[in-house]
Structure 1
Amino acid sequence: MVTCTSLPLKPLFLTMTNKENIESLRKELREHNHNYYVLDNPIISDYDFDMKLKELQKLEEQYPEFQDLTSPTLRVGGMVTKNFETVVHNYRMYSLDNSYSKEDLEDWEKRIQRILGDAEVEFTCELKYDGASISLTYEKGELVQALTRGDGFQGDAVTTNVKTIKSVPLRLKGDYPDKFDIRGEIVLPFEGFAKMNADRIENGEEPYMNPRNTAAGSLKLQDSAVVAQRPLDCLLYGIVGQNTGITSQWQMLEKAREWGFKVPTAAKLCKSTSEVMAFVNYWDNNRHDLPYETDGVVVKVNSIQHQDELGFTSKSPRWAMAYKFKTEQVTTLLNEITYQVGRTGAITPVANLAPVLLAGTTVKRASLHNADQIAKFDIREGDTVFVEKGGEIIPKIIGVDFSKRPQDSKPTLYIDHCPECSTQLERTEGDAKHYCPNFYGCPPQITGRIQHYISRKAMDIEGIGGETVELLFKEGLLKNYADLYTLTKEQILPLDRMAEKSAANLVKGIAESVKIPFERVLFALGIRFVGETVAKKLARAYKNIDALMSASEEELTAVNEIGERIANSVTEFFQNEANRDIISRLKGYGIQFSLSEKQMENQTDTFKGLTIVVSGVFKSLSRDELKKMIENNGGKVGSSISSKTAYLVAGDNMGPSKRTKAESLGIPIISEGEFMKMVDSPMQD
């Protein structure tokens, strides 16, 4: 804190009870914390604050019966977390689609208008701070949980560490909802980062590489007292929950500030992409004056009703877009091009570079994507290449400095045989990548499929990692993922770095995986193009593996968001005799190949083959609940009106253009109540 004129400490009123003394001090210190860390407006000196904090600590030690988990004394840390529990998010944390030009934004606006019709759309622009994503859960105004983003579906509980961050309110003020989640970024200001590195250098330690990674790493430190010493900050930007009373993103920012959150003031309400670009251009030129790292602007549709109507793709909200600032670019030498084989057999060329510092990290390798990319830029070994980080994350080569090309340079000849098993590569028309067709004999494909099967999003088998899989394969103990269930402790113990306890944990982790639900098992099988979201849709549509295995391509494409490419991949996978044998073995080991009874509840074929559009605001159900009911009853949720739409479920404030289009196409428009009657009284064939 800054130093202010010292004020004499006011003695506590002697007539106060011990409980009242403690509560009074807590309230006062919370207000001082908020003034300093959120409003940047301290009204007492550091010394006075510290004295009051020590006084409170002493009272709390004397009277432990008045313990409060939101006390300002918890900011100093001290609790040690050995293992960070993985917890499912109340609401999924999606990633954002990126744009890099005004044309990208205009195309996005057109897509929005196609769905919303002639509705007037406003946009909220906010700076995209580069930190560690966090989700905070508040119940009755108190912080009860803090989760990292993780994979978007689940994250690590880092509540104890986050409570040490002074700008995170432990208790809210005002008219906050009973329960909600708020999302934001844990950041490390440049000034604090520089001081941390100065201290490390003085102590003879290696400096940290960049603020973002240091902030993320701080959240996973075991000792919260160490976290408390780091000048972390928390910037909030998004509230999710039921019945929040919030109708727009702009109102959300204002409300969050009122409740005590630190919400950046660098935001603007815009009525067009031209206004959005003015905001983008201003901050692209002035971002270096900010106290934190930032890599772009997040543009959101302002109306929450419109956001609900636009919904989500499998990965991102349709109502938000990240405009990324131009990335840092460097040049370095391309020493060698090597080739990697993925679990699907896809070949990825890799540029091995002379190490170079880029956007805070040392880059040694960059993906070259495919043969077409190499030919497009005429990339050769020995070239000096231009490298940047795509979206500030993945290094990529964007060109060659031909003025520095060696005279004896030779064009790159893309390999025609697999670098691992020497099988001749294949490339189908319209596909950018080459593939090794030796699906069951190419080592990286075999081990890659097993590693995918055991991964956290799939079967989540503890006690086994990629290196162990490679070792078990090399020793002949694994040839496919079904072999995992035949492993014994006696087979594993003789292996390198395998002790009694680790071998027992491995076998136990494999045994526990039989409890994993069907949709994750389906994802774990590693069918090409079947990711987590597609696996869930297929599991919900077919209920069990046998029904899915017998489905035709035509039947599969009738499922919501399943196209011809996915349908073809699924049928090919199940037509393969080796895959069918593996599935038969997995069935014998007790793997879940059908939806559970609980998952089957309220699932019917009432809307099978029908596409239903939901629009407007509803009284008894949320839009998401209506969409889930459509899918649970075999239907497909449409985002816009077309001749394929079977019904339009209309709520209040629905855009007039949707009604007009539905009427012109003769599409039945039904109310929420009529929809519920259809669910309760299924239509007869």
Structure 2
Amino acid sequence: MTQELYQEKVALLKKWAHAYYVEDNPIASDEEYDRLYHEVLDYETAHPDEVAEDSPTKRVGGVIRDEFSKAKHIKRMWSMEDVFNNEEVQEWLDRVEKNIGECEYFCEPKFDGASMNLLYEGGKLIRAITRGDGVIGEEVTDNVRTIRSVPLTIDYDGLIEIRGEVVIRKDDFEQINAERLEEGESLFANPRNAAAGSLRQLDSSITAKRRLVFYPWGLGENTLAHRKLSQKMDYVYSLGFLEPPFAQDCKGIEEIEAFYQMLIAKRDDIPMMMDGMVLKVDEVDKQEELGYTVKFPKWMCAYKFPAIEKVTKINAITLQVGRTGVVTPVAEIEPVNIEGAMVSRATLHNFDEIERKDIHVGDSVIIIRSGDVIPKIIKVLEDRRDGSEVAVNRPTECPTCGSELLDEGALIKCQNLHCSDRVINSIIHFARKGCMNIDGLGSKIVELLVKEGIIKDILDLYFIKYEDLEHLEGFKEKRINNLLDAIQATKGVPLYRLLNAMGIEHIGEVASKALALEFGLGIVDAAYDQIIVIDGIGEEMANSVLEFMRVNHDFVLKLFETIQPTVEKKVEAEENPFKGKTVVLTGTMSESRGAIKEMLENLGAKVSGSVSKKTDFVIYGEEAGSKLDKAESLGVATLTEDEMRGML
């Protein structure tokens, strides 16, 4: 076979594969495909230096890794705000349209799988990264190359990030589990777990056998000039990617609800698991105008499908002690299958809820589960009681350490700081992504280190030695060094991350940033009156900080001394015309509104998304719309971009 004929056969093989895997419209028999495949493979075996970059033979995997490396997304991958009913959708629409006016929404199914970011450069797939924490994920390119619906090359010269969901079709999932059962392997709980587990195989040939499918739903880095997201996605589909079975542009709540109800009706017919519908503002400029919160874009949300209800029985109530000492009751129920997941536990939140719902051990109950939401009991079927049910009493002793519990009514707490459950859960929280992000320190490792007496609190992590770990099963030289390096690499982290990692009740990332900026290392001695005046900090949060610092004052100081966190200094803006003023930006300007917003905030201005009587200035560029009109009608001062810069 000549090189020219080989290239022709590769092109034909790719055409047949695309028709089968992407268009779901085979144009060749399996026998013809297999015969041509082996002709191509024979040529490549004889001429290894001439193998085409995008040859279908590269889909079989075979690359074996020791571990996955981390990789950074060019643009962040965001989470989504969840809404659960028509009223919440309307509230979300009202918030959006209050800021940008009436608009169209690009609606499509929300598949339940593993999020993936594909990076192409010069038309070639160069990297595939899991979502991770949105900024950094795991690089799984070798595994993703085995997915038939992911093009290895595309007709696009620049740099582009194509985001989507890796899923397993429901019938393929059943077949995979049947094969695992036959081979005596443990079964996957649901298609999403199967997809995520398949992507994390160190041997890519195993991934190749798992029948994974990739559906794109968005973009990161790109230079596409289309005005609408739906137009950009049409272009992505034209590059050879799978198109979702349904997608629609909708205006207003009625069209959105009609499409949503249609998807629910088609739920069983669509071959992939769906847990809702995604709404996105379609116009890219309006997306940018709306911007982002700390957690998610303001221009998109997930309209989740109704929760699925099942009837089961409570076999027992067990108690869990969290990192702050709160004792949470958990219902151990007779296992019940909900959308492919075997559910055997349900949350009860607290003992007030047990009393309010009059829950007994032995009761028949209705539980619900929606997407990732932990199953919960919504109703006790009292008419099914036969007298054998047992009432649940409020505990007085910690189930883990036996110390006396503090009963605050809604919350029951273990006050013993050395209670092993408190220690384990606090360390797990400390190490997780979003906190100190200690790679390799998962819950099982934490439990082992505490059980072996190697650590007893988060501070002990920083004094673990190589010889402390070398006797543990599964800990070889490379793994030990990687873990120790990951722990030491957290020294010097921003102070807010350390505060967030401490697990102060009611204090998350946003509050931690505000506290770190206001007090620095002096947070340990901050007074109530100083904390309560911080924007966004309420009475309960302030008291929680005070109580934590009172109980753990010396321990926190030792943490500061060991970790040496970076303290960001609060910079007081110099006097200028915008300091302390509320400003709204609208229209197209000489640079991105995000850059101008940052500049004004550094000057001490508060940049708002909507115009009101409290607005001090509306700064406008070309094609300014309703915000400028509203400012003029309210008598709010308006400035062109040039006038703003002139004032500075």
TM-score when scaled to structure 2?
A: 0.87
Change (3 A) 1:422 1:648: farther
Contact 1:382–1:406 under 8 Å retained in 2? no
Q: CA deviation at 1:161?
A: 0.9
Q: CA deviation at 1:351?
A: 0.7
Structure 1 position 641 matched with structure 2 position 621: no
Say which SS state the counterpart of residue 425 (structure 1) adopts: strand
Match of 1:546 in 2: 521
Change (3 A) 1:75 1:316: same
The amino acid of 1:96's aligned partner reads M
Q: CA deviation at 1:168?
A: 0.9
Change (3 A) 1:299 1:177: farther
* Deviations, residues 587-610 of structure 1 (Å, cap 9, x unaligned): 433533325xxxx9x987367755
Counterpart selection for 1:605 from 546, 550, 573? 573
Structure 1 position 659 matched with structure 2 position 625: no
Contact 1:454–1:524 under 8 Å retained in 2? yes
TM-score when scaled to structure 1?
A: 0.83
Structure 1 position 620 matched with structure 2 position 595: no
Say which SS state the counterpart of residue 361 (structure 2) adopts: coil
Counterpart selection for 1:264 from 244, 251, 260? 244
Change (3 A) 1:230 1:476: closer
Q: CA RMSD in A?
A: 3.6
* Deviations, residues 215-261 of structure 1 (Å, cap 9, x unaligned): 22111122222222232211111122353213223213312212221
Change (3 A) 1:608 1:332: farther
* Deviations, residues 335-364 of structure 1 (Å, cap 9, x unaligned): 222222211233322111122222212222
Q: CA deviation at 1:57?
A: 3.5
Change (3 A) 1:617 1:27: farther
Q: Using the TM superposition, name which of 222-231 and 401-410 deviates more.
A: 401-410
Contact 1:530–1:566 under 8 Å retained in 2? no
Matches within 5 A, 1:171-570: 171-173=153-155, 176=156, 178-201=158-181, 208-391=188-371, 393-407=373-387, 409=389, 411-415=391-395, 418-420=398-400, 422-427=403-408, 433-436=410-413, 438=415, 440-462=417-439, 464-467=441-444, 469-470=446-447, 473=450, 478-489=455-466, 507-536=484-513, 541=517, 545-546=520-521, 562-564=536-538, 568=542
Counterpart selection for 1:103 from 54, 66, 87? 87
Match of 2:124 in 1: 142
Match of 1:9 in 2: none
Structure 1 position 163 matched with structure 2 position 145: yes
Match of 2:557 in 1: 584
The amino acid of 2:406's aligned partner reads L
Change (3 A) 1:628 1:371: farther
**Structure 1 CA distance, aligned partners of 2:522 and 2:608?**
25
**Structure 2 CA distance, aligned partners of 1:637 and 1:63?**
62
Match of 1:123 in 2: 105
Change (3 A) 1:461 1:439: same
Change (3 A) 1:566 1:82: farther
Q: Which runs of 5+ in 2 are unaligned?
A: none
* Deviations, residues 503-529 of structure 1 (Å, cap 9, x unaligned): 666544433332544443332232333
The amino acid of 1:235's aligned partner reads Y
Contact 1:514–1:592 under 8 Å retained in 2? yes
**Structure 1 CA distance, aligned partners of 2:57 and 2:528?**
62
Change (3 A) 1:48 1:243: same
* Deviations, residues 156-187 of structure 1 (Å, cap 9, x unaligned): 211111111111111113xx472222221112
Change (3 A) 1:179 1:373: farther
Change (3 A) 1:69 1:87: same
The amino acid of 1:520's aligned partner reads R
Q: CA deviation at 1:313?
A: 2.7
Q: CA deviation at 1:124?
A: 2.0
Contact 2:327–2:414 under 8 Å retained in 1? no
Change (3 A) 1:480 1:55: same
Contact 1:558–1:609 under 8 Å retained in 2? no
**Structure 1 CA distance, aligned partners of 2:244 and 2:464?**
54
Change (3 A) 1:513 1:172: same
**Structure 1 CA distance, aligned partners of 2:157 and 2:522?**
44
**Structure 1 CA distance, aligned partners of 2:504 and 2:605?**
24
The amino acid of 1:302's aligned partner reads D
Say which SS state the counterpart of residue 528 (structure 1) adopts: coil
Change (3 A) 1:669 1:226: same
Contact 1:545–1:593 under 8 Å retained in 2? no
Change (3 A) 1:499 1:49: closer
**Structure 1 CA distance, aligned partners of 2:335 and 2:104?**
45
Contact 1:334–1:352 under 8 Å retained in 2? yes
Name the count of aligned residue pairs: 644
Q: Which runs of 5+ in 1 are unaligned?
A: 1-11
Q: CA deviation at 1:144?
A: 1.7
Match of 1:153 in 2: 135
Contact 1:132–1:186 under 8 Å retained in 2? yes
Q: CA deviation at 1:647?
A: 4.3
Match of 1:8 in 2: none
Say which SS state the counterpart of residue 317 (structure 2) adopts: strand
Change (3 A) 1:190 1:450: closer
Say which SS state the counterpart of residue 375 (structure 1) adopts: helix
Contact 1:131–1:212 under 8 Å retained in 2? yes
Say which SS state the counterpart of residue 360 (structure 2) adopts: coil
Change (3 A) 1:187 1:461: closer
Contact 2:582–2:614 under 8 Å retained in 1? yes
Contact 2:279–2:303 under 8 Å retained in 1? yes
**Structure 1 CA distance, aligned partners of 2:47 and 2:94?**
62
Match of 2:30 in 1: 46
Change (3 A) 1:32 1:553: farther
Q: Using the TM superposition, name which of 482-491 and 293-302 deviates more.
A: 482-491
**Structure 2 CA distance, aligned partners of 1:648 and 1:435?**
51
* Deviations, residues 364-423 of structure 1 (Å, cap 9, x unaligned): 211111234323422221101112213354211111111212325455443455444534
Contact 1:309–1:616 under 8 Å retained in 2? no
**Structure 1 CA distance, aligned partners of 2:289 and 2:416?**
43
Match of 1:92 in 2: 76
The amino acid of 1:151's aligned partner reads D
Q: CA deviation at 1:634?
A: 5.7
Matches within 5 A, 1:2-13: none
**Structure 2 CA distance, aligned partners of 1:362 and 1:375?**
27
Change (3 A) 1:108 1:48: same
Say which SS state the counterpart of residue 119 (structure 2) adopts: strand
